[in-house]
Amino acid sequence: MADHNKKALNFIEEITSNADEIQNRVLAEILSQNTNVEYLQRHGIDGRTDKETFKKLIPVIDYEYIKEDIDRIANGDTSPILCSKPITEFYSRKDNGDTNSLSHSTASYTDNENQELVDLVDVELGQEYEVVATTYTGLYRYRVGDILRVSGFKNKTPQFNFVCRKNVVLSIDVDKTDEDELQKAVKYASQNLLQFDATLTEYTSYADVSNIPGHYVLYWEISLNGQTPIPHSVFEDCCFVVEESLNNVYRRVRVLDKSITPLEIRVVKNGTFDKLMDFALSKGASASQYKTPRCVKDAAMIKLLNSNIVSSYFSPKCPTWIPESKGKN
């Protein structure tokens, strides 16, 4: 047993100390194994396996870019379209494994602020990145959609904390709010709770269109460590801060078009988000893959959240909106 543990520790030391070398080796293996696939031939890779050529010829993509290829496979085409080995099934649930699993994939990261593509070993502590993955099973420079924050390093290999999903949209009218934007707005607004020794432990959202016009709803679960109750005005201010932090289109339709009504925060009982997870697991979600959804649309989930509301608050005034300048006549 001692020898087994020693070998495991030595393996960890080796892969975390040589992350860049291993990433290059894995990429070469992926390209070599899939050299005959239609997708790579389409982009002129022509059997080359070096990182520089790969970056030059293969674009960074999302699902829409390969949707036609996936549809062909789903409809029974067994030719090597994306992968040299036959793809026999698709999983609807997203893989939530270790994003540093160097032996299974190679990854680059897009700086979430500057949209600059960087290699695994070049990420910086405390910065947020979107994963761009290449895998043995037919994904090449694919934007996974997970936003991760660098929390530390093991030798030369970064460690990450999950932040949120990208491009999960709240929308009532012409407004479009993605999860990254919502995450930043909620984080900023929840700082108002700190003076009461309280923290936001979990949240989700949904676009409530049960009435016309509709409005954004945020469900907040709060950990209150202090003895001082949080005044209603503080939660109302949180609503306002979230709205102030959202994009110009949202603020325009709130102020000018009036096609969205004030944002609402519904505070739920402690443990509500554990119940939400239990519900998801009962419907077949994997415990190891589960992440709190930052936007809910499922009626049963919304019913569960609404049944655990402690209090609710609305933004007391419209956010700031300044019309875009049209220039001088």
How do residues 198-211 score in pLDDT, each as one tens digit? 999 999 999 999 99
Q: Give domain limits for the chain.
A: 2-165, 179-314
Please report how the helices 19-33 and 2-17 are oriented relative to each other, as an axis angle in degrees rounded to 10: 90
Contacts of 228 (CB under 8 A, 6+ apart): 196, 197
The whole-model pTM stands at 0.58
Encoding tokens for residue 59? 């674009």
Round to whole Å and give the CA distance between 29 and 32: 5
Q: How far are the Cα atoms of 74, 79, 132 from residue 69, in angstroms, in the given order?
A: 9, 11, 19
Q: Taking residues 59-82, what's their average pLDDT?
A: 88
Residue 317: phi and psi, rounded to 5, are: -155, 165
Nearest to 106 by CA among 149, 157, 66: 157
Q: Would you state the structure tokens that stand for residue 52, as one six-digit string?
A: 């520089």
In this structure, what token pair is assigned to residue 182?
A: 């919502």
Paired tokens of 254:
């709130």
Mapped onto helix, strand or coil, the DSSP state of residue 11 is helix
d(CA 149, CA 217) in angstroms, rounded, equals 26
Collapsing DSSP to helix, strand or coil, 159 comes out as: strand
Please enumerate in sequence order all residues whose Cβ is within 8 A of that of 131, keeping only pairs 6 or more positions apart, or say none. Answer: 99, 107, 109, 143, 144, 145, 146, 148
Confidence of residue 99 (pLDDT cuts 50, 70, 90): very low
Strand 215-224 to strand 264-268: parallel, antiparallel, or no bridges (unpaired)?
parallel
> Per-residue confidence at 328, pLDDT binned at 50, 70, 90?
very low
Query: Is the pLDDT higher at 288 or at 250?
Result: 250
Which H or E run contains 5?
helix 2-17
101 pLDDT band, cuts 50/70/90, is very low
Task: Encode pLDDT of 274-296 as tens digits.
Answer: 999 999 999 888 887 788 999 99
| CA proximity to 215, closest of 249, 178, 265, 273 | 265
The alpha carbons of the chain give a radius of gyration, in whole angstroms, of 23
Angle at 249 between CA 248 and CA 254, to 5 degrees: 95
Residue 225: closest CA among 264, 200, 246, 196: 196
pLDDT tens for 1-27 read 577 778 888 888 888 888 889 899 999
**Angle, vertex CA 116, rays to CA 112 and CA 120, nearest 5:** 85
- At residue 327, the pLDDT reads 42
